Amino acid sequence: MRHAPIDAALFAANRRRLVQLLPQRSVAIVNAADILPTNGDGTLRMQPAADLFWLTGVEQEESVLVLAPQATDPAQREMLFLRQPSEHLATWEGEKLDKQKAQDISGIRRIRWLGELPGVLHGLLCESDCVFLNANEHERAAIDVEDRDLRLTRRLLEKYPLHRYERLAPLLRRLRAVKSPAEVALLRRAIDITDAGLRRMAAALEPGVMEYELEGELLAEFTRRRGRMAYEPIIASGKSGCVLHYVDNDRECRTGDLVLVDVGASYANYCSDLTRTYPVSGRFTPRQRAVYEAVLRVLKSSIARATVGASLRDWKRAAQVEMAGELVGLGLLSPEQAAQDSPDEPACKPYYMHGLGHALGLGVHDVAPFDGPFEAGWVLTVEPGIYIADEGLAVRLENDILVTENGPVDLCSHVPIEPDDVERLMAK
């Protein structure tokens, strides 16, 4: 693992939170993610399954967590199954977890090899009534490939058809939305790495530099600080900024343009997600500053409205109404057009057409209850923007915030965002 060790108490606490929600005589099973193929015999880098990591801290393929809180044998109430290390694996794939290392990482005492899983699971199911199985139930997920969780579900349904089966994902969605102080600390670390990368990138930003060169500066700083890219970065100069998911990053940054940078570092699998917009020449034009300040006002208001009990739908709607007023001030909408605003057809949609934010954590788009309400411990992105294709001008600003009982906390407050501070950063 690239990151520093994490106290196993975090994962033990997460397991306790889940077990408290399980009914009597139940078993819960969580799998690692598959290693995905590319071309020929190539594979992608292993991406740890967020649910398994949240519960165990384990980042190794073919790992399985089994929780059976009322098992007759106390030693079987919490078990982690792993690939058995061998000289062959060590030579070809590198070191695998042994039982002691797995115990140290997860805090689970009973570590067993994967070959034992069928027999142990059979015994547990014979004394259990209900089986909780996991699946990717993210609302934006494209389920085109059957993963390990779904393959296990199919096998168990065939072999044990008379058991009662329940969905584990809704429980984990509720639990993972509320971040513990230890998780917030990891998210702050990811944000700090992103801040360092943005400062390094800003030092290299000048007319004539290529977008991919700026991406290289970010990647170098992230890697140096034990981080990774949380997602494909958007480095969009000029009119490219009006393409919401632009990832080509192959255009020259030109005098007079703005460059929109949407990027986040991942540290210990916890993701940050920030967006900043910089003037390539070092200073905003009057028009650019006016648009920038309009977006910044909506950002600040939206952060202030992210309070305990707010719904995601109402939070987003308030930003749309405010943005319509800003667009009138910028001459992009007439007062009559703004007056036609409605939830079904927001007046701001031609210039601000996306959502306001999303949950953040072990996923860039992390799991959380669909419409809230927000709870203390939620971490959210806040990302309003204005996109004026006719002018080749785009501004998006994005910070990550923590919802608390005492109001929202801006986790990115130290990352330069005020237009004067951005110009000073560029001047350095």
What pLDDT is attached to residue 169? 97
Question: Which of these, 329, 251, 274, lies nearest to 297 by C-alpha position?
Answer: 329
Checking if the pLDDT of 22 tops 80, the result is: yes
What pLDDT is attached to residue 143? 83
As a whole number of angstroms, the distance between CA 415 and CA 411 comes to 9
Q: Any residues with CB less than 8 A from the CB of 88 and at least 6 apart, and which?
A: none
181-427 matches 9-176 in CATH topology: no
Checking if the pLDDT of 286 tops 90, the result is: yes
What pLDDT is attached to residue 46? 87
Round the average pLDDT of the chain to a whole number and report it.
97
9-176 topology per CATH: Creatine Amidinohydrolase; Chain A, domain 1 (3.40.350)
Average pLDDT, integer, range 383-389:
98
Question: Which of these, 114, 61, 129, 62, lies nearest to 84 by C-alpha position?
Answer: 114
The model's confidence at residue 142, banded by pLDDT at 50, 70 and 90, is confident
Residue 33 identity (one-letter amino acid): A
Helices within 160-261 (DSSP H only): 169-177, 181-204, 211-224
Could you count the other beta carbons within 10 Å of the beta carbon of residue 394?
28
The model's confidence at residue 157, banded by pLDDT at 50, 70 and 90, is very high
Checking if the pLDDT of 1 tops 80, the result is: no
**Both tokens of residue 259?**
């460059």
DSSP state of 290: H
The pLDDT tens digits for 76-87 are: 999 999 999 999
Q: What is the pTM of this model?
A: 0.96
User: Which residues form the catalytic set?
Assistant: 41, 245, 262, 273, 354, 358, 365, 383, 387, 396, 398
The model's confidence at residue 375, banded by pLDDT at 50, 70 and 90, is very high
The pLDDT tens digits for 388-421 are: 999 999 999 999 999 999 999 999 999 999 999 9
Q: Decide which of 428 and 281 is more confident.
A: 281
What pLDDT is attached to residue 310? 97
**For 181-427, which CATH superfamily applies?**
Creatinase/methionine aminopeptidase superfamily (3.90.230.10)
The pLDDT tens digits for 107-123 are: 999 999 999 999 999 99
What pLDDT is attached to residue 140? 86
Phi, psi of 92 (to 5 degrees): -95, -30
Whether a cis peptide bond, with omega within 30° of 0, leads into 373 is yes
The pLDDT tens digits for 187-233 are: 999 999 999 999 999 999 999 999 999 999 999 999 999 999 999 99
Domain range annotation of the chain: 9-176, 181-427
Average pLDDT, integer, range 233-257:
98
Please spell the DSSP secondary structure of 79-143, one letter per residue. EEEEPPP-HHHHHHT-----HHHHHHHH--SEEEEGGGHHHHHHHHHHT-SEEEE-----TT---
What pLDDT is attached to residue 212? 98
The model's confidence at residue 145, banded by pLDDT at 50, 70 and 90, is confident
The pLDDT tens digits for 163-194 are: 999 999 999 999 999 999 999 999 999 999 99
Please spell the DSSP secondary structure of 371-407, one letter per residue. T----TT-EEEE--EEEEGGGTEEEE-BEEEE--TT-
As a whole number of angstroms, the distance between CA 424 and CA 419 comes to 9
Q: Where are the beta strands (DSSP E) in 230-347?
A: 234-237, 258-263, 265-267, 270-271, 274-279
